[in-house]
Structure 1
Amino acid sequence: MRFGLLLLTMFTLHAGLPAIYAEETAEPQTLEQVFAEGVIDLDAAPAPPIVQPSTELAPLAENENQLISAPAQQTSVCASGAGCTCSTCTCQAPACSCEPCGGNACTLCDRIPLLNKFPSDRCFDDFIMPVSNPVWSIDPRSLTYVRGIFINQMIDAQTPVLGAGDLQVYALQLGIALNERLSIIAVKDGYNTLQTRGVGNRTGWSDIGLGLKYVLIRDVENQFLLSGGLIYEATNGSSRVFQGNGDGVWTPYVSIGKQIGSGHLIASSGYHVPGDTAEESQSIYYSIHYDHPVTSKLSAVAELNGIVYTKSGQALPLNIEGGDWINLGSSSVAGNNVVTTAFGANYRLNSCLSVAGVWEFPISNRKDLLDSRTTVTLTLQF
């Protein structure tokens, strides 16, 4: 029985070998034949599982972490301007820093170390200083500057006592910014030459005017300033050119500045209070300045100045006064009002040096001593 089963098994294997061998030696099918015979069914094949990437990063080795540097700090415009001695002020936390000379070649201002210790507030650099009425039209910014002034004023032929003539003034103004709000200003000094038909040729020194200025409101974002201060004019000048009379004059004042579009408005007003009301007249003054850029360096300038006399003096029996530079102490000027206007330009030679010039003339019926005036300034700002 067992022997028969063994023979049957051997026979079955022998019969199947040719078929297996035929399949292995058959010629390979093409890819089209395989798909046609349905050997591979792509539609029925299951889609591979989608593996979500892991959001957890493997911790860096200590040496790998040292190779990664921190991102560079972003630089933004410095809002306060503190500590800046040049026009390019940047903020780099934790404190403000300033790029020396604005990235350009240093100018003359950067080579004068004494005044560079008291830098101007550079966050209002586009403003331009008023030109006409140079003593009393006060710039509201806290600035360190030196400004040379030349005035040539023509006197009308109908002027009582003096007659036709002219006045020249050679002056030097100075400002020292103790910080971005407080500054010391020297607004009046200089040497005068006076030539008229009535009194001939005369020369002499001007009175000296010194004061303080404090910025009450300093809004960098809106480019707005409000300042106030007090100026004292001493009596050290020469009487030959109508200076040195009285017992000094105190002048409290306010000044505002505002950017309007690409232009800038500066307005100031104050009250002249003489120490000796018999020798000098009392008055209220006002000045309005507007500048507008024409090019990157050139700006047009328009200004308006006025003075209203509130109380007469008793020094001279006249109905005219001297305006911004001279106080005659005339006895019949209370209620008089003189208004002038000026037009000109300002040119920036570089980031700290500028030259300006305006021509001024009266627009009121009253002229007093000012028939017309030319004022030229050269300003070095630190």
Structure 2
Amino acid sequence: MPQGLVHGLKSALALSALALTAGLASPLAAEESGSNFLGLDLEGSLGEGRHSRYVPPLTNPIFNETPYITTEARGIYFYHDIPDDFVTEGGNVHLAALQLRLAITERLGFIATKDGYADLNFDEVLEDEEGFANIAFGFKYAVISDPENEGILTAGLRYEIPIADLETGGIELQGNGDGFLNPFITGARAFGDLGLQASLGANFALDPDEDNSLLHYSLHANYELLPGFFPIVELNGFTAFNNADRLTGALGELDGVDVLNFGSDDRGTTVTLGGGARYRLNDHFQFGTGAEIPLTDRDDTIFGYRLYFDVVASF
């Protein structure tokens, strides 16, 4: 088995164990202090008299934020295939990450949704690299919360801190600018066994000469086919609206999609289709697995396909 895959699987298991430990501790804390801890309403959107149906998105985990205000740990692992048409003639990326969310009130939540460790393996041209991804955190607020009709609309803002820990062949894979501001809106509505969600946001590069700014948009549908079992279909899009000038010429169309940002001067649009399923073991644990493929055909995209696995441990 490739060393990168072994490393990625070990990281995924470790992060999943952390998420499971957090989830196991949550019911005990709830029994001791109810839904409040240090004045925080940890149940957020969920709990008695609040929303009862929570199926978080699976693909595009960095930008496709759930509108629900939750207290949870989400361990994520994905295997990302780099297509043969890419400048490196193929390769792969293993990424393991841990997302954290904390409900402050029923409507206000803190989120830390980008971090983790990436292992990049290229077949040609570039040397292999591994290191930490940028860190992004922020807040979101449920502008509309209608538990009776299972509807919710949330606005949020994230700041991404540039770590600049991934570089190969003289190319900063995450850029070396001042980070990003990411305002977004996200909403969900349930119709019986069918759940729908949509999100829209803009990732503004604070140093537009170093990094690309982009729009991101996602659609999500799930259906409770069996008790606790939810097949999922998702559509994601990434469109650059302000290109940088860090990579030009023959490399000027390189597209890092979501995790990476090459600062290309001619980055376009990538649209992906994802599918999979979630299994809700109980009110505290959900497991998800699935795959994602690109629908757009750009020779310079870094996106071949992705395979996902995650575990969500909720309060």
Same-fold status (TM-score > 0.5):
yes
Measured against aligned partners, the alpha-carbon deviations of 1:152-200 in whole angstroms (never above 9, x if no partner) come to: 000011112x331000111000000001100000010000100002223
User: Does the CA-based 8 Å contact 2:44-2:109 persist in structure 1?
Assistant: no
- SS at 1:221 equivalent: helix
Contact 1:208 1:237 in 2 (8 A): no
The one of the two structures with greater contact order (alpha-carbon pairs below 8 A, sep at least 6) is 2
Instruction: Provide the rounded CA distance (Å) in 1 between the counterparts of 2:158 and 2:205.
Output: 12
- Checking the alignment, whether the CA contact within 8 Å between 1:239 and 1:245 is kept in structure 2 is no
| Larger strand percent | 2
1:377 matched to 2:314: no
Aligned residues of 1:141 and 1:215 also touching (Cα < 8 A): yes
Map of 1:273 onto structure 2: 204
Letter in 2 for 1:236: I
SS at match of 1:139: coil
The equivalent residue for 1:327 is: 261
Aligned to 1:42: none
- Which of 276, 290, 312 is equivalent to 1:358? 290
Return the match for 2:247 from 294, 304, 316.
316
2: distance between equivalents of 1:116 and 1:166?
44
Partner of 1:294: 225
Alpha carbons 1:217, 1:225 under 8 Å: kept? yes
Q: Is the 8 A contact 1:205 1:238 kept in 2?
A: yes
Residues 135-144 or 235-244, more deviating: 235-244
Return 5+ residue gaps in structure 1 as ranges. 1-105
SS of aligned partner of 2:158:
strand
2:96 aligned partner, one-letter code: Y
Return the offset for 1:273: 0.8
Bigger mean CA offset, 165-174 vs 361-370: 361-370
More displaced 10-residue stretch of structure 1: 148-157 or 366-375: 366-375
Distance 2:314 2:292 in 1: 25
The answer as to whether partners of 1:156 and 1:165 remain within 8 angstroms in 2 is yes
The counterpart of 2:213, out of the listed 277, 282, 296, is 282
SS in structure 1 at match of 2:154: strand
Are residue 110 (structure 1) and residue 37 (structure 2) matched?
no
User: 2:257–2:302: 8 Å Cα contact kept in structure 1?
Assistant: yes
Change (3 A) 1:236 1:112: farther
SS at match of 2:186: strand
Contact 2:190 2:196 in 1 (8 A): yes
What is the Cα-based RMSD across aligned positions, in Å?
1.8
Task: Return the alpha-carbon distance in structure 2 between the equivalents of residues 215 and 116 of structure 1.
Answer: 19
1:117-154 residue CA offsets vs partner (Å, 9 max, x unmatched): 32232222322000100010010011000000001000
Cα distance in 2 for partners of 1:301, 1:177 equals 25
1:181-221 Cα shifts (integer Å, max 9, x gaps):
00000010000100002223211001000011000000111
Name the CA distance, whole Å, in 1 between partners of 2:77 and 2:36.
25
Instruction: State the secondary structure of the residue aligned to 2:149.
Output: coil
2:179 paired with 1:248: yes
Residue 150 of structure 1 contacts residue 375 of structure 1 at CA under 8 Å; is this kept in 2?
Answer: yes
Q: Which amino acid is 2:195 matched to?
A: H
Q: Which runs of 4+ in 1 moved over 3 A?
A: 112-116
Residue of structure 2 equivalent to 1:10: none
Between the aligned partners of 1:286 and 1:208, the Cα distance in structure 2 is 20
Using the size of structure 2 for normalisation, the TM-score is 0.83
How far apart are residue 244 of structure 1 and its match?
5.2
For residues 256 and 92 of structure 2, what CA distance do their matches in structure 1 show?
13
Q: Distance in 2 between matches of 1:119 and 1:220?
A: 14
Tell me which of 140, 154, 159 is aligned to 1:232. 159
Secondary structure in 2 aligned to 1:110?
Answer: helix
1:263 deviation in Å?
1.0
CA distance in 1 between counterparts of 2:146 and 2:59 reads 26
2:57 to 120, 125, 130: 130
**For residue 145 of structure 1, what is the aligned residue in structure 2?**
72
> Of 172, 187, 192, which aligns to 2:118?
192
